[in-house]
Amino acid sequence: MKTTSGRIFVTVTVVLLLALALVGLTCRALLDDYLRDSTFQRLENDAHVVSQLASAYLEDGALTSMNFFINLDIASKVSDSDTIICNALGEILLCSDAPLGCDHQGMYLSSDYLWKVIRDGGSRETGMIQGLYQEARFICSVPIYSDDGAVVGIAILSRTADTNEALMRRLTDIFIFVSFLVVLIAALLIGLFVKLQNNPLRELARAARDFGHGNLDARVEISRSYPQEMAELALSFNNMASSLQKSEYQRQEFVANVSHELKTPMTTIGGYIDGILDGTIPLEKSRHYMQIVSDETKRLSRLVRSMLDISQLQTELGIPEEKKSRFEVGECAGQVLITFEQKILNKGVEVEVELPEHPVYIFANQDYVTQVIYNLLDNAVKFCPTGGTIGLRIVEGSDKAHISVYNDGETIPPEELPLVFDRFHKLDKSRSANRDGWGLGLYIVKTIVCSHGENISVSSRDGRTEFSFTMPLTI
């Protein structure tokens, strides 16, 4: 059996049969012991009654009287047993099956058996009495005492074992029939149970097969009849499928975006180089176009560097503790702001700086935090109109430092806010307004902040856009 249902069915059936066999054998043994003890107990009680009755008649010398014969016959029939009366020498005097005379009269018991009964005060045996009975019997013998305590004879009561054996055979037949019925019902119930259990497995296998063949929309339909474990497994599969589907869509989008972004500068570089080589571009203008080629090459280099930074952050799955250090975030932000001095002066932008009066120390990777502040300030200067305002603010919380960078400019539409941190996302869909950008700056910012286990948010209203992120404080 290779299928799960077949294995479950065979296993449960074998276990059930073994359990029934064990219960049957145990019950048979217990019942056999009970019937044996019960039979011996009844025979022994009846033997004592017959012994007392025979003792009374022996004392009166009327053992062979008709009255005793009648009493002996009644006692034997009531006890459903055969009775034999022997004297102290082991000679058989009377037999209940023919009290007036039978073939057993005049026969003698074995002296060993006679002595055993007298010595032990009675005997319980299972077997045959040689010369008397040829079939197996339950035999109970007790001495017959006179008034002075002397042994004057022996009373032997026996019953054939066929009655108990017939009862055991009948009970065995009933047990086998009931066991067969139980196994049949169990097999039907197990089959139904296995079928119900296999339905979600088959559904899960179907969804996995479809998903593996490229159908990324394949999911498992979770029914209320599913067991809890199967429902959890199906839910986990659906979550995994959704995650893989999202990753695949992101991969496809990433490839498409990279291809699109590389196409324009590569076309520009190739066109100008070919124009210079074939003489289409005059020599006096070649320097101008070579400068354009150089700028495009530098842009490609920045793209590759940004992609390598993203790949490294995603591979690390978090900034290791050994790569973090304690540093003053206000000083770090101030040094970054100074690097934009020339751009700020060229655009006539005003700068607002709000820093605590005391140093604010955080525990993070200083190079990465510097890059976050740099990217945010670069965007702020880039998108701030001439004569506008940019700002840098640091607020110390209970356990975190809140760093914010804001700028005047066009308000970002609400539907665009959730997308600003996506790779290659630009507000200008034509990608012509910002030739120096690739749409990776904010994606790198978010990746760095999340790698520290912190959060970043953006708000844009009334002509002002503000980015805020947190970093853990330290003493």
pLDDT tens readout for residues 270-296:
888 888 888 888 888 888 888 878 877
Distances (CA, A) of 264 to 39, 258, 261, 272, 308: 108, 11, 6, 12, 21
Q: Residue 5 belongs to what H/E stretch? A: helix 4-60
Check residues 376 and 148 and name the one with the higher pLDDT.
Answer: 376
The gap from C-alpha 249 to its chain's centroid, in whole angstroms, comes to 31
- Spatial distance between the Cα atoms of 27 and 2, rounded to a whole number of angstroms: 36
Q: Is the pTM value of this prediction over 0.85?
A: no
What angle separates helix 4-60 from helix 66-79, to the nearest 10 degrees?
170
The pLDDT confidence band at residue 333, using thresholds 50, 70 and 90, is: very high
- In 97-216, which residue ranges form alpha helices assigned H by DSSP? 111-120, 162-212
Angle at 352 between CA 351 and CA 354, to 5 degrees: 145
Is pLDDT above 50 for 154? yes
pLDDT > 70 fraction of the chain, expressed in percent and rounded: 82
pLDDT tens readout for residues 292-310:
788 778 767 766 776 676 6
- For 132, phi then psi, to 5°, come to -110, -55
CA atoms within 13 A on the CB side of 268: 16
Is pLDDT above 60 for 208? yes
Residue 90, classed as helix, strand or coil, is coil
Q: Residue 238 belongs to what H/E stretch? A: helix 228-277
Is pLDDT above 80 for 23? yes
Which tokens belong to 189?
């119930």
Is pLDDT above 50 for 449? yes
Closest by CA to 185, choosing from 174, 193, 197, is 193
Check residues 425 and 186 and name the one with the higher pLDDT.
Answer: 186
Is pLDDT above 50 for 50? yes
Distances (CA, A) of 232 to 237, 242, 408: 9, 15, 50
Is pLDDT above 50 for 36? yes
User: Is the distance from CB of 396 to CB of 372 less than 8 angstroms?
Assistant: no
Compute how many other C-beta atoms are within 10 angstroms of the C-beta atom of residue 255.
10
Judged by average pLDDT, the poorest of 105-119, 134-148, 227-241, 248-262 is 248-262
Rounded-to-10 torsion of CA 413, 416, 421, 422 = -160
Q: Which residues contact 58 (CB under 8 A, 6 or more apart)?
A: 144, 146, 152, 153
**Residue 473, exposed/middle/buried by CB under 10 A (0-12, 13-18, 19+)?**
middle
Is pLDDT above 60 for 147? yes
pLDDT tens readout for residues 428-443:
543 333 445 446 778 8
User: Residue 351: its pLDDT value, please?
Assistant: 94
Closest by CA to 97, choosing from 40, 37, 153, 159, is 159
Residue written as token pair 């090459």: 297
- Spatial distance between the Cα atoms of 230 and 207, rounded to a whole number of angstroms: 14
Kindly state the average pLDDT of the residues 135-160: 83
The pLDDT confidence band at residue 35, using thresholds 50, 70 and 90, is: confident
- For 261, phi then psi, to 5°, come to -70, -35
Is pLDDT above 80 for 64? no
Q: Give DSSP secondary structure letters for 270-286.
A: HHHHHHHHTTSS-GGGH
Q: Which domains does the chain have, with CATH numbers?
A: 4-166 (3.30.450.20), 219-317 (1.10.287.130), 322-472 (3.30.565.10)
- For 421, phi then psi, to 5°, come to -95, 5
Check residues 377 and 13 and name the one with the higher pLDDT.
Answer: 377
Judged by average pLDDT, the poorest of 3-17, 18-32, 62-76, 374-388 is 62-76
Kindly state the average pLDDT of the residues 166-171: 83
pLDDT > 90 fraction of the chain, expressed in percent and rounded: 16
- Spatial distance between the Cα atoms of 201 and 215, rounded to a whole number of angstroms: 19
- Spatial distance between the Cα atoms of 266 and 296, rounded to a whole number of angstroms: 8
Q: Give DSSP secondary structure letters for 24-56.
A: HHHHHHHHHHHHHHHHHHHHHHHHHHHHHHHHH
- Across all residues in the chain, what is the average pLDDT? 81
